[in-house]
Structure formats: C-alpha cells, structure tokens
Amino acid sequence: MSMQKMMGELHKELANKLLEVVRDPEAKAGDLNVARQFLKDNEITALPADSNVMREILEGLPFDATVDQVQ
C-alpha cells in the first residue's frame, strides 16, 4: 500500500471515529474540541444559511448576532 493511500485511509478512519464520538450524548468538551480542530485543520467551515444548524445556533444566542463595526 502506498503512503498516500495509507494516509487517506487513516484520515477516513479518524473522521469516522470522530463522527461517532460527536454523536455520543456523553461526548466531553475535549472530544468536541478534537473534532473542531480536525475540521479546522482540514479547512472545513460552515456559514449560517436559511436552513442549517449554524443558523439555528446563531438565532439561539442570547445577544444580537450582528457584528459592531470598530471605528
């Protein structure tokens, strides 16, 4: 097996394991942080859209979600 294929398999397995961990209702903050860093390292981002979880989170914040301009 080539190194590139092996790294691809490792990446896939890690992603699958992290998904299992995140879906576990007993996931700890540290577990979620590992998953967050995995997404960041792989340049995976999500922006609030009309019908996605990011929009629901944004709307549930206890303050105005608009960003104030610094002048």
- Residues of the chain scoring pLDDT < 50: none
pLDDT at 65: 57
Percentage of residues in the chain with pLDDT exceeding 70? 89
Q: Please tell me the pTM assigned to this model.
A: 0.69
b (16+ CB within 10 A) / e for 14-50: eeeebeeeeeeeeeeeeeeebbeeeeeeeeeeeeeee
pLDDT at 6: 96
